[in-house]
Structures are given as C-alpha cells and as structure tokens.
Structure 1
Amino acid sequence: MEPRRRETADASAATIDPAEVEALTCALVAVPSVNPGGTEEAAVEVLAQACRDAGFEVQVSEAAPGRPNLVATVNGDADGPGLMFLGHSDVVPPGPGWTGDPFVPRRDGDLIIGRGATDMKGGIAAAVVAMKAVAQAVADGVDVSGPVRLVVTVDEEEHGVGVRHLVEHPPAGEHLGCIVAEPTRLEVVRGCRGASYFDVEVTGRAAHSGRPSDGASAIDAAARVIEVIGADQRRMAADPDPLLGFGTWNVGTIQGGQGISVVAPSCSMGVDRRLMPGEDVHEIGRRLSDEIRSAGIDSDGITVSVTPTMFLPGFATPEDHPLVTATAQAVVDSGAPTSVGGWTAACDGGWTSSALGIPTVVMGPGDINGQAHQPDESVSLAELVTAAQAYLRVALALLSD
C-alpha cells in the first residue's frame, strides 16, 4: 500500500471505538437466536437497527417464515465492484456447564462472555463498526470505488436455509471478494473443506432371537456398512491435499432394533462426510451405495439406502490472490500476527465462492476450536477491535485509489 493510502487507513482505523464494538457485541449476544428453533428474527432486528442508526442501506428478506437474512450496504452509489462481509445470526444451544446465564453478556477482564460471543456475533459487530468507519472515510472525501456490504444469514448451524436463499437472491453487482467473519484467531483462511450429511437406512427381516438364521439383522448389516466407510476413510487419508488434508467420514448417530429378543428389522445412521473443494455430494452417495453392494451387504434380506440431507461446498482461493494478500497485510498493519492456510471447519463461504463466484477468505476474531460451541464461550475485546481495524483496512486497500 502506498504511503498516502496507508496514512488514510491508519487515520480511519484510529477512529474505531472499542466501546462501540463491545456494546454491539453484547446487544447481539443478549438476544438468543438459538438454532434449531428458528429464533433469529429478534437478533436480526437488533442488528438491522444498529445498521440503520449508522446510516447503512438495510434490506431484510425472509429465507423462511420468521427467519430473515440481512444485507446492509455502505457506499451503495459507487459503481465499481464491492467487498462483502459474511456472517450468520444463529447460535448453537447453550448446553450445560455455564457459570452464568449464557444470554446475559458479562466481562472477565478483556473477555466478553456469552453464547455467540465468538461464533459469531462478535465478528459481525466488528464488521459493522468497520463499515461505519468506511462510511466516514467516504464522507471525508476518500474515493472508495465500490460498495461494502454485510450479509448475515440464518440457519448456518443447521441446514443452510439462509445461504441458499442468498444464492438464489444475491446482492446486485460484482464483488472483488468476500470475507467471512467466522472466528479464526485473526488467521487468514483461504480454503475450507465442505460438509454433508447422509441418512443411511438399513432394512432387514425380523425373527425370533432363538433362531436368528430365520431373519436378517439390520444391525449386523449396519456394522458392515461402517466397515465400508472406514475403508473409504483410509483410502482418502493415503492421499492428502497440502492445504486441506482429506475428506473425512463420521458416523454420528445410530439407532436400531426392535427388542433384545428380536433380530433387528431396521437400523438407521446419521453420517457426516467432510468434502474437499469440487466434490459432489450426490456422487459420493452413489459411490458409497456401489461399495455397499460390492461388499455384498445389500442382499439376502437386507436393503440399504443412502440419502444426502445437507450439503455445504468447500472452497480454495489461490494464495497469491489480492484478497488473500490484502487481508493478511491488513491484520499485520492492525498490530496482530497472522498466517495464511486452510481450516478444518466448514462455513457459508463455500457457497459465496462456488455458487456466486466471489473469491472468499475467512478471517475473524475468536477461537473456533477453543471457544465456539462450548460453555462460557468468550471473545477478547482487543481482538474484536483488531478485527474491525483489519476489516476497514482491507476495504480501503481493495476499493480506494
């Protein structure tokens, strides 16, 4: 970045108020938006009002009844390609183990504690405050060539209803990039695996347990299906990708049987398959079905069906892409160390990259592994402020002359 632009970015970053970041983070945490439950609407209204108060253009559209997506825009009159920030308004259930009310935000030194503080209401708040600083820079005469948008979807933690609605109704215009404000500890994630869920239904034939040969045990067959899945896992692990590793299987739930003295007539499994960029969920399901048949499981009184129920694509953005390099430099210029790499988690960025064609990275405050989905979830206020400054710097680096 040339000296004049750096001076402008430094001056704008200095205007970001930690109290403002803290207040919006806490206001969002204080409104439960637990998923499953479809309760995002109240939290989205808090966010929408904060954006309206900041002078943003705000659009709210229902992805499903009572479940609104939000798009907030600054510098919307600019006709150049823009920059998108992406987040989600839903949070996972609080669960046991909290030392206080999970929806009454509280401070412990530098930490803000509450469900959603790190995943990902803090990141959303940082983006809003950064966009407010962009708007002020424009008002002060800085030439910003395109709009800056915040897109907040519903249902990210479950089935992706919100991001699918976004794909069907994308914001107008082109975007130079998308930054997903998920918690990465301010590391720049240029690639994520995707995720998919499968229902595996095994049907057998009931019989008296005194003569089990009269029946066909769905539970025994399900155990053999798990062996097939394990073999596929070992095949993938033998050829890892340098950035993202390899796809993984996990049998997360299993239910089956009618009674202890009955040969099991049915068994069902819920299976997670993490996806490499470009993998097709339907092809994976067909291949698993073929392997089950090849193993001789789907025969002699046993039938097995494999049905995909959820799909979130993976993505990978080239390491030398301007979005990647500008985001990493923005974090460093904001006073924090960073790195560029891949991520074990999945996020809505897979849709912006693969379906909307927008170059995408993930970078945000908080720790997905150490804090997200856990009791007493917390995020550092200092990290929130650094994220806001970095978001501002990226916008100015990519969009200002």
Structure 2
Amino acid sequence: MYKDVLRFFDEEGLIKCTQDLVRINSVFDPDVEGANESRVTEYLEKLLHKEGFEVHVDEVVPGRSNVIAFLRGKEPGKTLLFEGHQDVVSIGDPQKWKYDPFGGEIVEVDGKKRMYGRGTNDTKGNTAAAFFAAKTIKDSGIPFKGNILLCFPVDEEGSMIGIKDFIEKGWADDVDGAIICEPEEKNLCIFQKGAMRIKVTFQGAQAHGCMPLSGVNPNWALMRFINEIKHLENFEKDRMMRHDYLGWPSITPTLIKAPLEGVAQINVIPDDCYVTLDIRTVPNQDHEALVRQIQGIIDRLSHQYPDDYDRFAASIEIIDDRPWTEVPREEPVVKAVDLAFREVMGSEPKYNGVPGATDGTFLQIRKGIPVIVTGAGDREVPHHVDEWVELNDLIEAGKIYTLAALYYLNEQ
C-alpha cells in the first residue's frame, strides 16, 4: 500500500550518516574528561535541525544529553517511538582490531559490502536507519496521523540513565507503541530477557598467607557461594526449561575482586572480597523469589560455617533489576512491523526474543508501552572486535522502519 514511498529513501545518505556516527568515539569513561556521547549529540542535533524536525536536547547529567525529535502529522493520532542509543562499548585492545574501530571502513566480503567499526552493528547504524525512515516519510509528503517520535538516549550500555530520564520527564507519556532499534538480524523480537545485577561481599580477617588459621579467608566463602549458585542455576533451568524465544535462564558470576581496597598480594589473605552475578531471566521467573533464594544460600552457609577461621559472612546488594518483557503478536505495533517486513523482504518474518535487556524494557515496565525490538546486524557481533554490519541489511532495516511507521500510524 505504501511501498512506493521507498523511492524517497536515501540509501547513500544512510550509509554516510552511519559512517559519520561511527567515526565519533562515544565510549563513556567517567575517568576521562569529555569521554561521552556529547559529539554524537551535537551531530544528531544539527542533522535533525537541518531536516526541519522539532528538536529537543535534554541534559540527563552534565555533558550527557538525550536527543529527542518529533515529526508531526497533519491529523491527530497515535505516537510511534523509534529509539536508538548514542553510546557504544569500549573497543578493548585496539591492537586486536584489523580495521580502525572508529574508521567506518567499507569492505567487500563474500560479495557483500560491510562497514566495520564500533557501533556499526550496535547500534549507530540502526539509529541512523530510524532517522532516515522518518526523513523518508517527511520528504515524500505522504500524509500520516499522529506523531513520529525519535529518541536517541545516552547510556544504554551502562545503567540506562538516558531512557530512565526520558521516562521520568514525561516524554514517553503519550507514546502508544515503540520500535527499539537494535541488531537483531531483522528478527521481530517480542520478548526480552530480564536482567538482575547483584553484588555479594564476603568479610574475612587479613592475615599472613603462611599462617592462614590466624585470619579468616573470605575466598573460601566466595568459593562455597559460587558452587551453590551453580546448583541454583541448574535448578532454575530444570524448573523453567528452555524458552522458545529466549533460550535458557542463567546466573553467571562475572567480576571477582579481593581485597575490595588496597593492593592484592600473593602472600596476604585479603580482608574481604566480592563477586558479581549477571542474572538473566525468562517469563514466569520471579526476581524477588530469586533474591530470596540467594539470601537463603547466604543464611544457610552462615549457619553451616560459623567458626572464626572458616567463617562465612556475606551481604547482598541489588545493583540493577530489569524484569523480562513480552508483547503479543496481536499488538498493532507488532502487526505493523510484520507487514512492513513482508513488503520489503518478500518473505515471512522470524519472531524471536532479545537475549538481554534494552531501553525498551523500561518503556514497557514503567509505562506499559508495547515494544518490539528489531534492526540490522548479526545478533552475535555486538561488543566484538571488528564489529561490522552489512550495508544492504542496514538499508532493508531502514525501509522496514519506514513502512512500519506508516502502517502503524495510518491503521484503519
């Protein structure tokens, strides 16, 4: 019905915009002045103003601002949100990259053109595609009802303070549906895993390594705890089984540090230590129940090992809590993306789930907004060395976004 509008889609402009964004280092580092998303913010603000959008730059914290823009229809109607974050993760060791991580270099691989660089896949390419979808509708002059709202927040790769601020300030109050622009191989993701980040700290008593009984080694407590956590993970896998779209739930120890402060030495029993848990949940897992189970492990081990030299003493801290989400296929925003995919790709879409949380998690949990996550890019490439995206994949995603917006807003 609206496929003719795609002749206004600027494919070359999309590729250049993606290159421009990738060439801006927007890795956030709190210890380095100016290491944030500010130059991406400036770029997007200028681009949106140039194209005649209603633009708002909204500071979240000093030096870090969300970019928010509206394209308004001539008739009242629904508001559709496109969301794609400004920040990217660290490049790690630059010596391990074959291609310049901030070069946006285009290379042909197996007959297909790829762009390499941090953010090509996650998710500067998809952010650019969302903008060009809205620009295509504007340039075509085709009438639509309601509003297209673009939100390009900061800090998605961190604590997601950008989208939280967007919600708290009321920007999402009138949003009826959202398309979260992330690298999902253009799969239509209607589930998102939940995420909990937990820190467990173990207390001991510092002593010389040659006289371990004169102190309390917290590392033994940490070891016993991790062993019990593995049993809990296996129990949850047996209880929940493999989810059709999200796979297995998981409880993963990640960071381990001993001692918490000061210099670690091989001949010193540390005074304390900690482990962090990255917990990923699937529908029908109760986060509060999981926390109670973990606290129960701590309580049981504390009673089991009360002796001074072998004492188990630990405390738990919830760092972050993002529940799992799901949205029915019957939701209008899902149906609109489904139809757009069929129009652009000429095939049936694949439905899937996001293996982690996205900014869309908070939009759905806090505001009840139905969200679908989709976009260009291999699902396993984010955060990798030599991150890349296929150019044709990116163009197809942009065209899907374009038609999805029209089908959603002009739904009869």
Contact 1:246–1:276 (CA under 8 A) maintained in structure 2: yes
Q: Does 1:344 align with 2:355?
A: yes
Q: Does 1:64 align with 2:66?
A: no
Deviations 1:321-370 (A, max 9, x none): 2222221221121126530121212211101111121100100011131x
Q: Does 1:391 align with 2:401?
A: yes
- Shift of residue 207 of structure 1? 3.9
Give 2:99's aligned residue. Answer: 100
Distance 1:298 1:21, change over 3 A: farther
Distance 1:323 1:367 in 2: 23
Q: Does 1:373 align with 2:383?
A: yes
- Shift of residue 298 of structure 1? 7.1
Name the amino acid aligned to 2:13: E
Secondary structure of 1:55's aligned partner:
coil
Secondary structure of 2:183's aligned partner:
coil
> 2:365 is matched with which residue: 336, 344, 354?
354
Give 2:152's aligned residue. Answer: 152
Q: How does 1:1-400 map to 2 (within 5 A)?
A: 6=1, 9-37=2-30, 38-75=35-72, 78-96=75-93, 97-109=96-108, 110-137=113-140, 139-140=141-142, 142=143, 144-171=144-171, 174-238=174-238, 239-240=240-241, 241-256=243-258, 259-277=265-283, 284-295=290-301, 296=303, 299-300=306-307, 301-335=311-345, 337=347, 338-369=349-380, 371-400=381-410
Contact 1:188–1:361 (CA under 8 A) maintained in structure 2: yes
Distance 1:327 1:282 in 2: 34
Distance 1:91 1:172, change over 3 A: closer
Distance 1:82 1:65, change over 3 A: same
Which 10-residue stretch deviates more, 197-206 or 390-399? 197-206
Contact 1:177–1:323 (CA under 8 A) maintained in structure 2: yes
Deviations 1:112-131 (A, max 9, x none): 11211111010011111110
TM-score (norm 2): 0.88
- Shift of residue 316 of structure 1? 0.6
Distance 1:36 1:270, change over 3 A: farther
Secondary structure of 1:151's aligned partner:
strand
Distance 1:170 1:365, change over 3 A: farther
Contact 1:107–1:113 (CA under 8 A) maintained in structure 2: yes
Deviations 1:58-108 (A, max 9, x none): 111111111101111101664322111111100011123212321121111
Name the amino acid aligned to 2:71: V
Distance 1:299 1:45 in 2: 58
- Shift of residue 13 of structure 1? 1.4
Name the amino acid aligned to 1:304: A
Contact 1:81–1:173 (CA under 8 A) maintained in structure 2: no
- Shift of residue 277 of structure 1? 4.9
Structure 2: stretches of 5+ with no match in the other structure = none
Distance 1:173 1:198 in 2: 30
Distance 2:304 2:339 in 1: 54
Aligned residues: 390
Contact 1:221–1:297 (CA under 8 A) maintained in structure 2: no
Deviations 1:228-247 (A, max 9, x none): 21111011101224433443
Contact 1:254–1:269 (CA under 8 A) maintained in structure 2: yes
Distance 1:333 1:298 in 2: 64
Secondary structure of 1:62's aligned partner:
strand
Which 10-residue stretch deviates more, 248-257 or 230-239? 248-257
Which 10-residue stretch deviates more, 58-67 or 196-205? 196-205
Deviations 1:2-35 (A, max 9, x none): xxxx1xx111112212111111111111111013
Distance 1:277 1:20 in 2: 40
Contact 1:281–1:308 (CA under 8 A) maintained in structure 2: no
Name the amino acid aligned to 2:194: G
Distance 1:262 1:98, change over 3 A: closer
What percent of counterpart residues are identical?
29
State the superposition RMSD in angstroms: 2.1
Secondary structure of 1:146's aligned partner:
strand
Distance 1:216 1:26, change over 3 A: same
- Shift of residue 175 of structure 1? 2.6
Distance 2:292 2:409 in 1: 45
Structure 1: stretches of 5+ with no match in the other structure = 1-5
Name the amino acid aligned to 1:68: S
Contact 1:243–1:342 (CA under 8 A) maintained in structure 2: yes
Contact 1:21–1:125 (CA under 8 A) maintained in structure 2: yes
Distance 1:234 1:153 in 2: 37
Secondary structure of 2:20's aligned partner:
helix
- Shift of residue 292 of structure 1? 1.4
TM-score (norm 1): 0.91
Give 1:3's aligned residue. Answer: none
